[in-house]
Structure 1
């Protein structure tokens, strides 16, 4: 029997999905019970699960009777819609890219209905839908999903503020990130309408629920700085830097308070589709170093092979640094390490502004590192990429170290002491915890700019790190006077 859920024309050679099959089978088994008059008996657990599956299939595929099927659901539900919502979430996570467009429309409608009844697990459903928005993707289908979801957040604002306030911070993170892409391109009127709605939503969260913005932590600053050219965000940025009292939030008095809050990994997962996450985790847990080329080529063709979606690399690097922390068994094995994948991703960048943002994603936690609140695994890939690129890829080491010092000097001049302390602390912890035995590979590298080596020794001297015994800052200064200085570049 032809599926009314999955578009087989787009997936000709795929085997039947067991989950989709279970929904279809439940529908065909219980179809006579899906017509009025509905029995009002309380169903036993197995029957209850099956009727939920059948009703969901009916809602998604029998659109002209969807409201009737929802009334049936309201009549039989006994668990706060928990199981039903989990089924919808699973459809989004596992089947979204395969289902008919009409089914996608129904999924948005189901989401709205679940918010209205304060269904258990509706936050997970919203997260699942947000994750299906692909960064840098300007296809009609992706723009449609962006528009629909920003409409959900605006249309159900009061309900979300009352019942699921943290979802507003999730929505803010997603739409700030998407706006960075959408505002770089001048496209047709559809994109302009979308941009206005995204801006309206984000600004409203800042102005009305700023305490929820603070939940995001330091990555809120990273996203916001990419939008300072947008008038509405330029005003917010000025307030954040110069007049924090305008946000009328008790306890918030300076942007440095945001710097010191590590962003939860759940936000980074929002910008990685479940399929992308699955492939990245496979690459980082099962593919041996030296055998990764074919997997990287496949990943690049599937997810990065569109001109405008290069910015997706920024999200992937942030995910790898902050949301994928391998166990010791993987670290000690021959599996391709995180730093090697990040090095490959940086080389995939063809646009200067994207490469700069990728490097910022790699080093962002270094700038504000505090051993008491930060995770050393977030900063490990950066140091290992710099050291392991010597000597074969010395230009990578040079570029990264140069960029790191540029951040120290220019990221926030007013709070440079805080950043120097953060980066110094990062270097100290990396050595003290044994991620690296010493920094001799960097400081003693003849191919590295003497200026950069001098800066590194000076920075290390701010901590208790015993970097090297044979090379002191005075020696480096002498070398610098004999060699041309390489200017920093972003």
Structure 2
């Protein structure tokens, strides 16, 4: 039996959750062996008994079946409390658990689906968030394989009880496949890719109506997988044979482009710890004081070149899942555009840089002010204008990339993309996110081609701004450093 759940250094204090579970187990251990008492526990006794049983399941694998039978016999709340404790363990310290405890955790996760425990879908989400993109360590690949296998083995139950959780899994495994497909001839990863492909294709082919709930980011992920024959066939059907998906309400991928992706999906590719640290940076760290924090963040989450793919997920999270209050926006706390500027500088690989820029501009391409959120647009425009003139190459590369998207992203739907980008610029000016686009079209350091492209794109938008506004505008020459 493992004496502890968590691996910790000698100088580290014990985790209070682990202490609570262990104390309950030690006190109630005599009652955890058959024959079990038939008395009805009070609420406090019930919570302690759940804690003791959970600790026993995780630390006594040889007796796990006994503990589970005990749990099934005493449960009175649909397993709500038991599942909530599992979620706490996963969210708060999954990475520190002993491997034997992790194996038991996956085993009991299967059981929660089997008994339709209240909150089992939240447990599935918590476990999915612990799979780290760009991480090819044995433990991370093991968790990925265990989770995709769980979803396949419990397919019918999930489809009947909590079908939405299957869309969460689809989003995760589509995203992970893009990473895994960059590695070849590694037997363990090849086997994992095969199972991931099987799950994703089964989901899209058999339950397309559920997949539509993901929205436009579904297409963003699929485009990274067109080199895989199964996904190439899916793309062809999306474009040329939409009826093959047997969904009467689906006639064209334009419908998917028009559906904004919920932040619930974007959070799936950021671990709870990453989310906590990014939100702290964007809520408490002052602009100009961020370098020490950035060094720590880089060492913690971006230590290897393979982890660069996480940058795209972080950009998407910042744009769409972290919307600061007006108080934060008007304060001297580091702003979203500045953090994204730093992340863009950090990306070294060409495909990573392109995916980061696409993540930044993706909502621009299909923007509709009746359905979309202007806050998703704000970081890109502010990064472009705040980078003048100190980081002029940033302004130039972003604006150039936006026009490349306009001309090449989806030629059959270029009018839609043109309308989306134009609408994005118009609302940003109309709502006062920027006072005017004059800072761009009158900038001597910006290429004439880009200036002319802007004028053609927005012929009816006022490009001029009074001198007094230019002085107070965010577009000033003494731009603060975001690096």
TM-score, with length taken from structure 2:
0.95
The 3-state SS of whatever aligns with 1:78 is coil
Which residue number in structure 1 is paired with residue 107 of structure 2?
Answer: 109
Whether 2:463 is the aligned partner of 1:467: answer: yes
* More divergent stretch after superposition (184-193 vs 141-150): 184-193
How big is the alpha-carbon RMSD for the aligned residues of Structure 1 and Structure 2?
1.2
SS in 2 for 1:370: coil
Per the alignment, residue 52 of structure 1 pairs with 50
Deviations 1:173-210 (A, max 9, x none): 00000000000111420000000000000000011000
Matches within 5 A, 1:213-252: 213-252=211-250
Residue of structure 1 in register with 2:441 after alignment = 443
Q: Of the candidates 83, 86, 89, which is equivalent to residue 88 of structure 1?
A: 86
SS in 2 for 1:270: helix
**Quick check: 1:288–1:334 contact (8 Å CA) kept in 2?**
yes
In the TM superposition, 1:150-161 aligns within 5 A as 150-161=148-159
- Find the aligned partners of 2:191 and 2:261 in 1 and give their Cα distance: 30
Quote how far apart the aligned CAs of 1:3 are. Answer: 4.2
1:301-316 superposed matches below 5 A = 301-316=299-314
* Pairing 1:4–2:13 present: no
Gaps of 5+ in 2: 467-483
Q: Does 1:259 align with 2:260?
A: no
**Which residue of structure 2 aligns with residue 475 of structure 1?**
none
Q: Which residue is 2:351 aligned to? A: 353
- Given that 1:161 and 1:168 are in contact with CA atoms closer than 8 Å, whether structure 2 keeps it comes out as yes
Q: CA deviation at 1:35?
A: 1.1
Summarize deviations over 1:135-163 as a string: whole Å, max 9, x none.
Answer: 00000000000000000000000001101
**Corresponding residue for 2:470?**
none
Matched residue count: 466
Q: Deviations over 1:377-416 (max 9, x none)?
A: 1110000000000000000000000000000110000000
The counterpart of 1:374, out of the listed 372, 375, 379, is 372
User: Are 1:328 and 2:326 counterparts?
Assistant: yes
Q: Provide structure 1 residue ranges, at least 5 long, that are not aligned to the other structure.
A: 471-490
- Correspondence for 1:212: 210
Structure 1 segments of 4+ aligned residues over 3 angstroms from their partners: none
Query: How far 1:40 sits from its partner (Å)?
Result: 2.0
What secondary structure is seen at the aligned counterpart in 2 of 1:229?
A: coil
C-alpha contact (below 8 Å) 1:218/1:263 kept by paired residues? yes
- Contact kept in structure 1, 2:436 and 2:465, CA below 8 Å: no
What are the superposed Cα offsets for residues 308-329 of structure 1, whole Å, 9 maximum, x if unpaired?
1111100000000000111111
Deviation of 1:12 after TM superposition, in Å, equals 3.4
Q: Does structure 1 retain, via aligned residues, the 8 Å contact 2:237–2:244?
A: yes
CA contact (8 A) 2:435 2:465 kept: no
2:241 corresponds to 1:274: no
String of CA shifts for 1:417-465, please: whole Å, max 9, x gaps.
000100111111111111111111111100001110111112122xx53
Superposition TM-score, scaled by structure 1 size: 0.94
Matched residues in 2 for 1:131 and 1:14: separation?
A: 25
CA positional deviation for 1:41: 2.1
Cα displacement (A) at 1:13: 2.8
* Mapped partners of 1:118, 1:108: distance in 2: 15
CA deviation map 1:92-148 (0-9, x unaligned): 011111110000000100110000000000010000000000000000000000000
Structure 1 residue matching 2:348: 3-state secondary structure = coil
CA contact (8 A) 1:147 1:194 kept: yes
Q: Are the counterparts in 2 of residues 40 and 75 from structure 1 also a CA contact under 8 Å?
A: no
Within-5 A mapping of 1:426-441: 426-441=424-439
CA distance in structure 2 between the aligned counterparts of 1:157 and 1:236, rounded to whole angstroms: 21
In structure 2, the residue matched to 1:476 is none
Contact 1:88 1:125 (8 Å CA) reproduced: yes
